[in-house]
Amino acid sequence: MFDRGEALALLQLGDSAFPAGGFAFSWGIEGLAADGLLSDRDDLDRVIADHLAQRWASMDRILLRRAWRAADSDAIAAVDRLAEATTPSAEMREGSRRAGRALLGVWVKLAGRLSVSYRARVSADPRLGHLAVVQAITGRDAGLSLDAAELVSGWTLITGLASAAVRLGLIGHIDSQQSLARARALLADLLADAPDDDAMPSSFTPFIDIAVSRGPLRAVRMFTT
Amino acid sequence: MSRLALTHADAPMTAARVGIGGPVGSGKTALVEQLIPALQARGIDIAVITNDLVTAEDAERVRRSGLIDPERVSAVEAGACPHTVIREDPTLNIEAADELERRFPGVELILLESGGDNLASTFSRDLTDFWMFVIDVAGGDDIPRKRGPGVIRADLLVINKVDLAPHVGVDLARMQREATEVRGGRPVLLTNCRRGEGVDAIVDLLEREVLFRT
Ligand SMILES: Nc1nc2c(ncn2[C@@H]2O[C@H](COP(=O)(O)OP(=O)(O)O)[C@@H](O)[C@H]2O)c(=O)[nH]1
Ligand SMILES: [Mg+2]
């Protein structure tokens, strides 16, 4: 069961220090806090749970799995356009593309075969480069299994949210570890059930979507989303 | 400084990327505002990236300055990590620079203003071909002696606000001498970015060391 090689790859690729710009995205944490909707660890745990269950599991994960199965660049691009079409918030779309393109850029420099060929497409089409899709491409370039790629995707979301909350002064470093442990258990639960191959991406996180969408209206803002 | 490489792994012809770091308030944006017309006057095609800390104020200031097409100014948020975004994880800045190059194919030089930080901030070589560190005389003439990595390792140290020296009791000649000493003789230039004094010397250096024009 325990594959040391893959476990070590996960530690490297799922590390918050992996240089793909993740630290600049709060995915709504900053906005919710600014609007008084997030001020302590309980609030944070609820937001992380929402993110995971109502968005990541039904949306990002589905897109990732579709992109994983895609036979060629055309098929990957079709999943990418589906990500674009199923994300109503412009700021959410933009954030997802910026995060995705940053991750893709790293793997282009690491000479990932799929990443290099897909990057050419992304450069030519401003709608492409969504994070979940790029996570599939780069996961394949990294030689991960689908299970492992899903894990990295869910885990980097969780660490990104908790670390944004720490930097915003909403929780301390110990609270953050407790939130992470809780979220880890939820992620494991979600991953235990494999979705159908023909599942369509969907999400329902209205508060998070509104918080991210309101980003450009706030005068004081440290995060991209 | 002849080690500067103008080629990046995935694109053969890219613009030179020039970083501008230094503590908050030392005059980085003021220097950018001086460099834009000075570079343009020499026919150099430029674009700008800012890494504002908490607002897009610097980006907006440069966009509204009337000095440059606002489309050529990009803002990159740093998630409260101004060091990280130029050093350990410069990916978002690299993407922003690549994007500017895609949109403006003739661009020759991209100025990248850091969010402003302490003396320990340095730029990744993967991000910039050349970077300068801006301190100001009002911060005290002991700054060079503190040997911060920014002061020591920058390709160019700029000591700004020379006009304030008499008001804050700074011996400018000594400050420059000590700065040159701790930097092992590498370039130190003095500026007054309110009035544009000393900016031409920086442009000369950039033309020579970064654009390889003589
Ligand atoms: N007296 C004087 N003030 C300057 C000079 N350069 C910049 N300033 C002022 O210093 C303040 C901070 O400058 P700014 O460019 O915003 O600093 P930044 O935070 O490093 O970008 C502003 O009020 C500038 O007008 C200078 O050479 N002399
Ligand atoms: Mg500034």
Q: Which residue in chain A has the smallest CA separation from B52?
A: A222
Beta strands in chain A (DSSP E): none
Decide: pTM greater than 0.80. Answer: yes
Partners of B130 in the β-ladder:
B18
* CB-ligand 1 contact for B164 (6 Å cutoff): yes
* pLDDT score at A1: 63
Contact B162, B190 (CB under 8 A): yes
Burial (CB count within 10 angstroms: exposed 0-12, middle 13-18, buried 19+), residue A88: exposed
B53 touches chain A (CB under 8 A): yes
How far CA B158 is from CA of A141, A171, B47, B132, B181, in Å, comes to: 43, 39, 21, 7, 14
How far CA B50 is from CA of B59, B84, B119, B129, B153, in Å, comes to: 6, 14, 19, 17, 21
Residue A172 within a domain: yes
Contacts of A9 (CB under 8 A, 6+ apart): A142, A143, A144, A148
Residue A49 within a domain: no
Residue A40 within a domain: no
Residue A1 within a domain: no
**CATH number assigned to the domain comprising residue A98:** 1.10.4190
Q: How many domains does chain A have?
A: 1
A97 touches chain B (CB under 8 A): no
The whole-angstrom distance between B96's CA and the closest CA on chain A is: 9
Contacts of A189 (CB under 8 A, 6+ apart): none
* pLDDT score at B118: 83
Q: Which residue in chain B has the smallest CA separation from A218?
A: B55
Q: Which residue in chain B has the smallest CA separation from A117?
A: B10
Cβ distance of A116 and B53 shorter than 8 Å: no
Regions in chain A scoring below 50 on pLDDT: none
Ligand having the closest approach to the CA of B31: 1
Closest-CA residue to B30 (of B150, B164, B127) = B164
Domains in chain B, start-ordered, CATH in brackets? Answer: 17-209 (3.40.50.300)
- The DSSP result for A47-96, as a single string, is HHHHIIIIIIIIIIHHHHHHHHH--SHHHHHHHHHHHHHT---HHHHHHH
Q: What are phi and psi of B132, to 5 degrees?
A: -120, 155
Beta strands in B91-181 (DSSP E): 109-113, 130-136, 156-160
The whole-angstrom distance between B147's CA and the closest CA on chain A is: 27
* CB-ligand 1 contact for B26 (6 Å cutoff): yes
The whole-angstrom distance between A153's CA and the closest CA on chain B is: 18
Count contacts between A and B (CB, < 8 Å).
Answer: 70
User: What are the mean pLDDT values of chain B's consecutive 10-residue runs (214 residues total)?
Assistant: 43 83 95 98 97 83 95 93 93 96 96 89 95 95 91 97 96 96 97 98 97 85
Contacts of B46 (CB under 8 A, 6+ apart): B36, B39, B40, B68, B72, B107, B108, B109, B110, B111
Number of CB atoms found within 10 A of residue A214's CB? 17
Residue A66 within a domain: yes
Calpha distance B96→B93 (Å, rounded)? 5
Residue A177 within a domain: yes
Contacts of A20 in chain B (CB under 8 A): 89, 91
Residue B196: helix, strand or coil by DSSP? coil
* pLDDT score at B13: 63
Cβ distance of A222 and B54 shorter than 8 Å: yes
B49-81 pLDDT, tens digit per residue, is 999 877 778 899 999 999 999 999 999 999 889
Ligand having the closest approach to the CA of B121: 1
Residue A27 within a domain: no
Calpha distance A199→A62 (Å, rounded)? 7
Q: Which of B58, B114, B136 to mutate to test the pocket of ligand 1 (most atoms within 8 A of CB)?
A: B136
Give Cα A15 distance to the centre of its chain.
13
Q: What are phi and psi of B188, to 5 degrees?
A: -135, 125
Provide the domain limits for residue A132. Answer: 54-213
Calpha distance B155→A185 (Å, rounded)? 49
Residue A62 within a domain: yes
Calpha distance B87→B126 (Å, rounded)? 9
Closest-CA residue to A218 (of B57, B33, B122) = B57
Give ion ligand 2 contacts, CB < 5 A: B 28-29, 58
* pLDDT score at B9: 45
Q: What angle do CA B94, B100, B101 make, to 5 degrees?
A: 90
B56 touches chain A (CB under 8 A): yes
Q: What angle do CA B22, B5, B107 make, to 5 degrees?
A: 75
Residue A194: helix, strand or coil by DSSP? coil
Strands B109-113 and B188-190, sheet pairing: unpaired
Cβ distance of B88 and A98 shorter than 8 Å: no
Among protein residues, the one with the nearest Cα to ligand 1's atom 1 is: B161
Cβ distance of A23 and B56 shorter than 8 Å: no
Closest-CA residue to A162 (of A44, A36, A11) = A44
